[in-house]
Amino acid sequence: MEFDFDVVIPPNLTTVRVRSEFPRIQPRNARENLSTTELELLKTKLGVWVDFFFNTKADTKYFEDLIQVISLWSAYANVSVDIDSEHMALTLKTFFWLWHTDDVLELSFEKNIPCHILDKGISQLLQVLRDDDREFVEVEGCPGFRSLFNSLVDLHESFKRYNSGYKDISGPFRFFLRKYFGAMRWYAVERLDGFYSEETFACWRHHVSAFDFFASVIFMLSGHSLPNKLLKSPSLRRILEIFNSVSGSTNDLLGLTKEFKYGQIDNLVVFKVLHRGIPIQEAVAQVCESVKSQLTDFLLLRDSILYEFSHDPDLVQYIDLLETMMDGHNRIYPESNRHLSAGKVTLSR
């Protein structure tokens, strides 16, 4: 995958041309490029739900761009169902919910809202998934949590109606969500006193990419689950670490222009440039090389775990899903209004 674009680096606003590439895995399953009609169908379906639960008039462009990229991402990540199916509708809503939640939390940290206050909002969201108290208590300084709460109640009830076994297979959903919230919380510690080492920064960064959460949603909606023995396998855990890491690195590389522009520090390349003093082209090359080596490991681990657990048909579908999602994530950047400012991105094999 090749990319070539200009990046404006603060504080001196120096413009630098960045060129590099990193490999892609060829998935067994992929969707054809969405037609304009198909994309508009997805955007309209998601837009109705978003308009109902969120104040879209407060920032029309933000919501329009997010709805568009979520429509692309949902279609290219979840290729086993029709785009006009109920399964796809739930994928759209859940992907939007998590992506918007990430934005709400980032804004809260930028406002220096203490973690113990954010925990009040986060705990209420997790209560929804446990069928606990449904009466929301306002979180000081975080007006966005009420919309997140109400929309999650709707999602939770929709999951239960869609899949009668939802309560039995929703464990990974809650586990990944708790892990994501935990990573976001500790990620904010950096703002208090100095900076993490690059290794720890990368660890938090890749946890909050939350792609394992996205995968758990699609897998759960399909009625599949993995046994605990498999979930505890060191090989699968490492596969998921790589899955998150590569997906986070893709965003860091192809979202550089946007994130330098808006001063978003949750980016490994930005961290290397602004806090380690590494020239941007060298920083980009380092992250690309990391993606290359991790994908090599992914393929080796994939073959190993499929051999070890060859009796489990769900595992084959799960690994196929991860590969489809990594490839589908690459495909959103040339088409997404949210990322088009990044410049030229060429998908190649």
For the segment 204-213, what is each residue's pLDDT rounded down to a tens digit? Answer: 887 888 899 8
Q: Are 342 and 5 in contact (CB under 8 A)?
A: yes
Which residues, in sequence order, are CB contacts of 127 under 8 Å at separation 6+?
133, 134
Domains in the chain with CATH codes:
2-11+43-331 (1.10.600.10)
Q: Are 250 and 291 in contact (CB under 8 A)?
A: yes
Closest CA to 21 of 329, 289, 342, 293: 289
**In what helix (H) or strand (E) does residue 8 lie, and over which residues does it extend?**
strand 2-9
Distance set, CA 97 to CA 53, 126, 163, 205, 213 (Å): 10, 14, 19, 19, 12
Q: Are 23 and 1 in contact (CB under 8 A)?
A: yes
Tell me which amino acid residue 300 is. Answer: L
pLDDT of amino acid 105: 87
**φ/ψ of residue 335, rounded to 5:** -110, -15
Q: Are 122 and 139 in contact (CB under 8 A)?
A: no
Token pair of 206 as six digits: 């890749």
215-253 pLDDT tens trace: 988 998 888 888 888 888 999 999 999 999 999 999 899
What CA–CA distance (Å, rounded) separates 128 from 159?
A: 12
In the predicted model, what is the mean pLDDT of the chain? 87
Quote the pTM value.
Answer: 0.91
Judged against a pLDDT cut of 80, whether residue 11 lies above it is answered with: no
Distance set, CA 173 to CA 97, 126, 130, 166, 170 (Å): 13, 10, 11, 10, 5
Judged against a pLDDT cut of 70, whether residue 315 lies above it is answered with: yes
Judged against a pLDDT cut of 60, whether residue 311 lies above it is answered with: yes
What is the percent of the chain with per-residue pLDDT over 70, rounded to a whole number?
Answer: 93
